[in-house]
Amino acid sequence: MKIGLIGGTGLYDLFHLLTEQCIETEYGQVPLLKGEYEGKKVYFLPRHGTVHGVLAPYVNYKANLMALKKAGVDQIIAVSAVGSVNPDIPISGLTLPDQLVDFTRRRENTYGKFSADMTLPFCPDLQQAVRSAAQENGQKLYENTTLICVDGPIYETRNELQLFSSWGMDIVGMTNATEAALARELGICFSVVTLSTDLATGFASIPPDLATHKKVAAENKEKVKALVEKALSLLPKQKSCQCAKSYNDYMFLKK
């Protein structure tokens, strides 16, 4: 099995002998960083580029996911910074969402070949590995939560946030719904762990800003790394999920 990690630069030093490999796709060229962890091949994809330059709406998601597919990756753990609209999830809280609502309106989230089943958007096998990792590490993980994905890069208005909260949303992000949909279309298992870097409740006295976001991300780097590292070591050898079913059915019918 080959594992993909999507996230910020804080995860680089998980691996030994990280080498860059450029993958050509029909959607563009993607540099991946290849390494090993406990004998498993790991491909690291810096979501926003290596210098955190590309904002969420302009990320080339279709190229990114296709590059991981071409590299042979069949399981992806993504890490994202989000805002909390559930006041129970504090700044620095780690969340394992099990549902998502795609509220993006200006980006493509499909390769347009067939209709993939997204009833359960995240891989249960990967989620179990993350859950067990948090337990073994003694880390608090917020579960049974829903992530709402917006276009960004602009932050939400107070009324938008109150609306999301009234809908029962827990966290707001800008990338994961797109990644989850494209991964599902390619038959790749996908799960996300989020770090809340601001309280996007619309009631918070401190408005969200990039400096705070970066500060919280930096302060929690080791915590996130410890969780991902442990989850990698707990991944099951045999899959029991149905993440690849739509893709396999499509490939079978195409023959």
Strands 75-84, 171-173: pairing kind:
antiparallel
3-state DSSP call for residue 246? Answer: helix
Which of the residues 183 through 242 are near Zn ion (CB under 5 A)? Answer: 189, 241
Residue list, annotated binding site for substrate: 174, 198-200
Residue list, annotated binding site: 9, 47-48, 80-81, 174-175, 198-200
Backbone angles phi, psi at 92, to 5 degrees: 80, 0
**By C-beta, is 180 or 243 nearer to Zn ion?**
243
Q: How far is the CB of 242 from Zn ion (least distance, A)?
A: 7
Judge whether 135 and 88 are in contact, CB under 8 Å: no
Residue list, annotated binding site for phosphate: 9, 47-48, 80-81, 175
Which of the residues 2 through 31 are near Zn ion (CB under 5 A)? Answer: none
Which of the 8 DSSP states describes residue 145? E
**By C-beta, is 115 or 238 nearer to Zn ion?**
238
Type of residue at 214: K
CA–CA separation, 23 and 33 (whole Å): 10
The stretch among 9-17, 117-125, 167-175, 212-220 that binds Zn ion (CB under 5 A) is 117-125
Among 44, 109, 243, 246, binds Zn ion (CB under 5 A): 243
- Dihedral of the alpha carbons of 77, 51, 199, 225, in degrees to the nearest 10: 40
Asked if 123 interacts with Zn ion (CB under 5 A), we say yes
Site residues, Zn ion (CB under 5 A)? 123, 125, 189, 241, 243
